[in-house]
Amino acid sequence: MSKDFVELSKKWFDGQAAVYDETDTILYSKYGKISCKNIFERLKKMDFKNLLDIGSGTGYLINMLSQTHEAEFIGLDLSPEMVRVSNSKNIKNAKFIEGRSDELPFEDEKFDVVTCSQSFHHYPDTDKAMQEAYRVLKKGGIYIISDTGVGFFKAVGVKFDDFIYRHFSNTGDCNVSYLEKTVRDMERNGFNVVDNEKLNTFVYTVIGKK
């Protein structure tokens, strides 16, 4: 059975955009806030000239970073409604555009930092998404993925998601992973993994360097 997960994700988040920020539950912004705050803490003291946030949603992460950094910020998101909401906030030095994680509309080696908070599990081709992040990063640039994964019985959990959950769900979730797998995937796609952290049973962050 093949489903168009990209189209499902777009519909799902178009429907959420207007109330995403204030709906602090697991199906809305709860884990996004946990991930964005963790990424923010990690970048707070780091110097960078520009940053791309993939799956930027309502701009929560870029909004925080724009208050501590004089950098150029670009948020890219599949959902036109998410892009509309984030642009309506008029965040300093930031612009938000529509786009897909697996076809980034940027030249090679443009960004110092690429981030991805709670979006990766919606990508049907995660290797392509990592390769695109790698391509647009400068040498030495930082890639941070923070995402929700399987908390326990990992291999069984991934199989359950592959064979059962994603066939019945309409949320566009299609890549259920976990910290150790994301580390391996990043390394296979050329990154040097420099740190990782478990934020709770399900949420984790992995940091790679090009």
Ligand X SMILES: C[S@@+](CC[C@H](N)C(=O)[O-])C[C@H]1O[C@@H](n2cnc3c(N)ncnc32)[C@H](O)[C@@H]1O
Give the chain's end-to-end CA distance (angstroms, integer): 36
Site string for ligand X, 108-147 (x = CB under 6 A): ---------xxx--xx------------------------
Q: Minimum Å distance from CB 115 to ligand X? A: 8
Q: Minimum Å distance from CB 151 to ligand X? A: 17
- Extended beta strands in the chain, E state: 50-54, 72-77, 94-98, 111-117, 137-148, 192-198, 203-209
Site string for ligand X, 35-54 (x = CB under 6 A): xx-----------------x
- Asked whether 56 and 75 are in contact (CB, 8 A), the reply is yes
Q: Which is nearer to ligand X, 97 or 155 (CB)?
A: 97
Whole-angstrom Cα distance, residue 95 to residue 103?
18
CB hemisphere CA count around 147 (13 angstroms): 27
Whole-angstrom Cα distance, residue 31 to residue 169?
19
Q: Which is nearer to ligand X, 27 or 194 (CB)?
A: 27
Q: Which of 42, 52, 60, 136 binds ligand X (CB under 6 A)?
A: 60
Whole-angstrom Cα distance, residue 50 to residue 38?
19
Is 63 a binding residue for ligand X by CB under 6 A? The answer is no
Q: Which of 62, 77, 161, 206 binds ligand X (CB under 6 A)?
A: 77
Q: Which of 55, 141, 149, 208 binds ligand X (CB under 6 A)?
A: 55
Whole-angstrom Cα distance, residue 190 to residue 175?
20
Q: Which is nearer to ligand X, 57 or 141 (CB)?
A: 57
* Nearest Cα residue to 123 out of 153, 94, 98, 103: 103
Size of the site for ligand X (CB under 6 A): 23
Q: Which of 101, 175, 182, 189 binds ligand X (CB under 6 A)?
A: 101
Residues lying near ligand X in the complex (CB under 6 A): 6, 9, 13, 29, 32, 35-36, 54-57, 60, 77-79, 82, 100-101, 117-119, 122-123
